[in-house]
């Protein structure tokens, strides 16, 4: 008899609490993202969506609860009879599995496009320069930016910078890619280009994706699950078709009416 295959979720939040002063942003949040899932978080501004991504990048620290990546506790673990903080060395090993693309691109301004992409693989992953360059060229080709390899970020349009930022994130071979409003700083006619690149990544890799977006078209095209988020809690979850055509929760209905 063969054992049932078990899969560990790529991301799990258990009772996560996050406060900024008196402002309780996440109030015992729980959700999971399965391996290879493409999950979109939607919801009103200020509801805590970006905070979730920032916690996963360890750019913020939770005030309570547990965050697991591939089943590994990422913040604290229960040892003996008490909760202890995960040592920084182990946190950084886990963090390497996670890549993030930001709304404002965040490229290194004084480096060329190629250097932006090879920096992490050489200095963090310890790849040889030749190997890092070979992979960077492959990724630049994939995002349609091969001709700009020697340009500096300020010589590029917003859409081009975002495509380089996507290539830079992928160069670190992440298992999980976090995308935070990656099209909201872009002109409308450029949005489709960036969506096309992300769509292609979704179609050709098994990277788990967790995205925050106001672009409902993006959520619809790229994701297989949508979580509606309000005041630090998930109020509804569904596949995109159901979420956008037949939402059941009144908060979702009101939100979608306002944005669609
Ligand atoms: P969303 O992504 O849904 O718009 P955010 O996660 O950015 O929401 O923000 C959730 C709440 O947390 C907001 O009330 C915001 O003002 C607050 N917040 C986020 N980051 C900080 C911070 N660094 N310091 C203080 N308050 C913050």
Ligand 1: residue whose CA is nearest its atom 1: 46
Whole-number Å distance, alpha carbon 62 to ligand 1 midpoint, is 13
Nearest Cα to Cα of residue 194 among 173, 218, 175, 220:
218
Could you read off the pLDDT of 108-130 as tens digits, one per residue? 999 999 999 999 999 999 999 99
Strands 38-42 and 225-230, bridge-based pairing: parallel
Instruction: List CB contacts of 60: < 8 A, sequence separation 6 or more.
Output: 18, 51, 54
Cβ atoms of 202 and 39 within 8 Å: the answer is no
Residues 45, 130: Cα–Cα separation, whole Å = 43
The pLDDT value given to residue 3: 55
pTM of model > 0.95: no
Return the bridge partners of 246, or none: none
Could you read off the pLDDT of 2-58 as tens digits, one per residue? 555 568 999 999 999 999 999 999 999 999 999 999 999 999 999 999 999 999 988
- Environment class of residue 88 by beta-carbon count within 10 Å: exposed (0-12), middle (13-18) or buried (19+)? exposed
Whole-number Å distance, alpha carbon 127 to ligand 1 midpoint, is 36
- Give SS3 for 121: helix
What does R_g of the chain's alpha carbons equal in angstroms? 19
Q: Which residue has the tokens 């993202």?
A: 33
Mean pLDDT in residue range 233-258: 93
Residues 210, 3: Cα–Cα separation, whole Å = 30
Of 87-91, 134-138, 168-172, which range is least confident? 87-91
**Pocket (CB within 6 angstroms of ligand 1):** 20, 23, 25, 43, 45-51, 212
- Environment class of residue 110 by beta-carbon count within 10 Å: exposed (0-12), middle (13-18) or buried (19+)? exposed
Nearest Cα to Cα of residue 33 among 14, 58, 59:
14
Residues 98, 120: Cα–Cα separation, whole Å = 13
Q: Which atom of ligand 1 is nearest to the CA of 18?
A: 12
Q: Is the ipTM of this complex over 0.95?
A: yes
């Amino acid at each position: 008899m063969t054992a049932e295959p078990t899969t560990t979720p790529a991301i799990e939040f258990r009772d996560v609490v996050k406060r900024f002063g008196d402002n309780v942003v996440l109030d015992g949040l729980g959700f999971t993202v399965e391996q290879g899932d493409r999950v979109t978080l939607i919801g009103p501004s200020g509801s805590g969506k970006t905070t979730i991504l920032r916690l996963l990048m360890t750019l913020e620290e939770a005030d309570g609860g547990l965050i697991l990546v591939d089943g590994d506790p990422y913040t604290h673990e229960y040892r003996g009879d008490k909760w202890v903080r995960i040592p920084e060395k182990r946190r950084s090993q886990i963090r390497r599995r996670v890549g993030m693309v930001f709304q404002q691109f965040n490229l290194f301004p004084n480096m060329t496009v190629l250097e932006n992409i090879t920096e992490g693989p050489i200095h963090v992953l310890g790849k040889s320069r030749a190997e890092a360059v070979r992979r960077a060229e492959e990724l630049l080709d994939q995002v349609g930016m091969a001709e700009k390899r020697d340009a500096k970020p300020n010589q590029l349009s917003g859409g081009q910078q975002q495509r380089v930022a996507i290539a830079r994130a992928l160069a670190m071979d992440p298992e999980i890619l976090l995308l935070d409003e990656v099209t909201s700083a872009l002109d409308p006619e450029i949005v489709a280009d960036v969506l096309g690149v992300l769509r292609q990544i979704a179609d050709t890799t098994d990277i788990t994706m967790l995205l925050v977006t106001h672009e409902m078209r993006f959520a619809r095209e790229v994701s297989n699950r949508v979580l509606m988020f309000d005041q630090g809690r998930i109020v509804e979850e569904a596949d995109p078709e159901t979420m956008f055509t037949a939402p059941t929760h009144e908060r979702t209905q009101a939100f979608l009416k306002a944005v669609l």
